[in-house]
Structure 1
Amino acid sequence: MTEQQGRGIIERATATKERPTLKTIAFMTGLGITTVSRALKDAPDIGAETKERVRMVARQLGYQPNRAGVRLRTGKTNVIALVLGIDEEILGFSNQMVVGISEVLSGTPYHIVVTPHAHTKDPMLPVRYILETGSADGVIISRTEPDDARVQLLIEQNMPFATHGRTNMEQVHPYHDFDNEAFAYGAVERLVNKGRKRIALLPPPAKLTYNAHTRNGFLRGLRDFGAEEVPLHINIDASLGDIRNAIEQLMRASDAPDGLITASGSAAIAANAGIEAAGKHVGRELDLVSKQGTPILSWIRPEIITAYEDVRQSGRELAKAVIARIDGVEPQLLQSVSQPIWGD
């Protein structure tokens, strides 16, 4: 059968608008259903020519495996659930994470399903839902806490998972993290090299593990480079408006800092607005250091000192880790930490 002939038959077959099945592909190719199924699974005993013919017809039909049927036959969903925050975020962090995960899953039978969640709600809710409904073969979670109840539950339920961020728990589990301690330490070093000595930190929320990592690096940097902290009583989970107002108030004070470090790119934009509202400017009265997952900060304010966090790569590492865990790889072999890439 030529490709043109096959397309003509397929167009007539799909005119009925019925969902194509393995039986449809078998009819179109003249092969048995078992052969078609094994060809789509890249079975080694099926010839390359047969596989290509089956795949061509499947593509033209728009064939997609019936997940309900797959689950009945195998007990698997072929779904990786990403529990993702839906809070105010304007610099593409979530999108980059999803893209990275999708790049890895595209070469596997797995599909990503995003389970949105607000940080103001009970973080256990989405994880319990996934476990109770059996709606995924593996889970990726973020915003980890030192003693994370979600991690404990996933381990108890024998659900393969990976976390974006570490915990302080005795249980070993897969994770990928960004070295926030190295970021904060390097941020202080760069500010001091610019002559800044009074530095404020806009940190992650205190309940999250990476708050401790960030503050450890910050305080170590202050000690090693001879700077002092200017207290700032707000964190990056506050609304952008609240961050802007808090930074404006801080910068109008007589003891305003001459350096500021933020733990997120979105917070840096709000902080910059607060600095300018106070009549001051980054690169003049003070310097600002921030993480960024896209180059937007560098575009809109080149004066901001930036450290790049490759969130897309984080997504790739997390996807590879959770698939490997599904395949039985030991969790201690599935742990990684990426380093900040400085823009200077």
Structure 2
Amino acid sequence: MPTLKEVAKYAKVSITTVSRVMNEADKVNPETRERVQRAMRELDYQPNRVAQRLRTSKGYSKLLGLIIPDIQNQFYSSIVRGVEDVAYGKDYAVILCNSDENPNKERFYLDVLQSESVDGIILPPIHQYSKVVEGLIESGVPVVCVDRKLVREAVDTVVINNEKGGYLAVKHIIDFGHKRIAILTSSSQFSSFEERLTGYKNALNDHNIEIDNELIKEGDPRSTESAYMFTKELLRHDNPPTAIFATNNLMTLGALEAIHEEQLNVPDDISIVGFDDMPWARAISPPLTVIKQPGYEMGRR
């Protein structure tokens, strides 16, 4: 494997210049930078990232940490793709971790990412009042929240207007004459679900529809199973809902499975509106109504 010294000799520059090209390329003369980069390609030189982090005066590791709840959730995989595309374009690598909505696992990966000297961490915090993430920010680690907020910290955040999205979803249902509207949501520890629930309640209040707590079901946002069971329960109620607002893509899938098993048709027997833009939603006949959440663009931002 070629060494830094051999790259410098091949490119007819100093070792310092080669190091600067790897760590602060924008400060190197373009012609020299191209000569060094060409030498690295032709010699198949692979920089040692650990040594590179130790050498650079600014401490840039060219590594980003990304913690998401579950890569199998298509919405989060879209976010990952957006983050990675931008990072790769800037010569950054991404360390990906799955928290599974487990605070202990989130804490473990935050510690690992800090030990790897990442330049910053991107995550949807499991809890909107997370003391662990708050402490990370206060220690000076650059953090960006995506999809969810931290309430007590001023931190860069990429989210949609979840409350408005929830309101529009329920207003759409109401406009079709529905008054018995259930919601499949999750714990208020997640800012996104709390805001969508607020939008649901505001829409009902604005249209003089009484809020029935029996129609509000909180389940696991990572699986279809809890939504499936809650939908079964709702449909077998003495006074079942005529419409359901499912607040993420997996809940929508679980609800649809239960509706199908009960031999009901959408929208003839029951209406449903989902959250998150899902390619498969357009394959359903008639196409499913959803509130679009552009995961890829959120990741890029």
Equivalence for 1:288 = 272
Partner Cα separation in structure 2 for residue 216 and residue 117 of structure 1 = 26
Change (3 A) 1:224 1:62: farther
Pairing partner for 1:198 from 168, 180, 183: 180
For the residue of structure 1 that corresponds to 2:297, the secondary structure is: helix
Partner Cα separation in structure 1 for residue 268 and residue 99 of structure 2 = 40
Residues paired across the two proteins, number: 294
Where do residues 325-344 of structure 1 align in structure 2 (5 Å cutoff)?
Answer: none
Gaps of 5+ in 1: 1-17, 318-344
Partner Cα separation in structure 1 for residue 267 and residue 3 of structure 2 = 62
Equivalence for 2:29 = 46
Whether 1:274 and 2:258 are equivalent positions in the alignment is: yes
Change (3 A) 1:59 1:193: farther
Equivalence for 1:13 = none
Whether 1:58 and 2:37 are equivalent positions in the alignment is: no
Equivalence for 2:99 = 117
> What is the Cα deviation at residue 30 of structure 1?
3.4
CA contact (8 A) 1:79 1:137 kept: yes
For the residue of structure 2 that corresponds to 1:290, the secondary structure is: strand
For the residue of structure 2 that corresponds to 1:201, the secondary structure is: strand
Where do residues 3-42 of structure 1 align in structure 2 (5 Å cutoff)?
Answer: 18=1, 20-40=2-22, 41-42=24-25
Larger mean CA deviation between 38-47 and 211-220 belongs to 38-47
Larger mean CA deviation between 23-32 and 74-83 belongs to 23-32
Pairing partner for 1:127 from 110, 114, 118: 110
Whether 1:83 and 2:67 are equivalent positions in the alignment is: yes
Partner Cα separation in structure 1 for residue 266 and residue 187 of structure 2 = 25
Amino acid at match of 1:214: R
Amino acid at match of 1:51: R
Q: Report sequence identity in percent.
A: 24
Change (3 A) 1:98 1:21: farther
CA contact (8 A) 2:222 2:250 kept: no
Query: Per-residue CA shift, 1:193-216, capped at 9, x if unaligned?
Result: 112111011113222122321111
Larger mean CA deviation between 142-151 and 157-166 belongs to 142-151
Change (3 A) 1:100 1:62: farther
- TM-score of the pair, normalised by structure 1: 0.77
Equivalence for 2:89 = 107
> What is the Cα deviation at residue 121 of structure 1?
4.6
For the residue of structure 2 that corresponds to 1:280, the secondary structure is: coil
Partner Cα separation in structure 2 for residue 216 and residue 45 of structure 1 = 53
CA contact (8 A) 2:122 2:143 kept: yes
Query: Per-residue CA shift, 1:265-290, capped at 9, x if unaligned?
Result: 12111100101111211111121111
> What is the Cα deviation at residue 61 of structure 1?
3.8
> What is the Cα deviation at residue 309 of structure 1?
0.5
Whether 1:70 and 2:52 are equivalent positions in the alignment is: yes
Equivalence for 1:246 = 230
Partner Cα separation in structure 1 for residue 220 and residue 247 of structure 2 = 7
Partner Cα separation in structure 1 for residue 141 and residue 230 of structure 2 = 42
Pairing partner for 2:171 from 182, 186, 189: 189
Amino acid at match of 1:308: K
Whether 1:211 and 2:188 are equivalent positions in the alignment is: no
Pairing partner for 1:308 from 269, 292, 301: 292
> What is the Cα deviation at residue 39 of structure 1?
4.3
> What is the Cα deviation at residue 43 of structure 1?
4.4
Equivalence for 1:168 = 151
